[in-house]
Amino acid sequence: MSNNLSDNQEEIFSRVLRAGRRTYFFDVRETKASDYYLTITESKKFTNEDGSFYYKKHKIYVYKEDFENFSNFLNETMSFIFDQRGVEVISERHQKDYSPDRINSD
């Protein structure tokens, strides 16, 4: 039985959010000291010229001592976005009548 970092980073709990080309992973992992922390990973699918796929991943780690502030800042930031732009998606990709001028005129 080895006692290395990968043994202690086993996923304890995991949730997956699929969102088009992006997938978000919310994973609870364990530290060497047997405490838990959160990793949030964004995985985005890309296509090579030959038609094969590859993924780019970005990961952040959030530790328990930061949970309250992280949650507060995340909620405050999302509220700001919804207050400023509403919940409807505004983008060229999602709306046939998209116009950058429309955003500033609403």
Domains of the chain are 5-93 (3.10.450.700)
Question: Do the beta carbons of residue 21 and residue 44 sit within 8 Å?
Answer: yes
**3-20 per-position pLDDT tens digit:** 444 444 567 999 999 998
In this prediction, residue 21 has a pLDDT band, given cuts at 50, 70 and 90, of confident
pLDDT of residue 6: 47
**Calpha distance 30→63 (Å, rounded):** 10
**Calpha distance 9→55 (Å, rounded):** 22
Q: Is 23 exposed, middle or buried (0-12, 13-18, 19+ CB in 10 A)?
A: middle
What pTM was estimated for this model as a whole?
Answer: 0.70
SS3 48: coil
In this prediction, residue 24 has a pLDDT band, given cuts at 50, 70 and 90, of very high
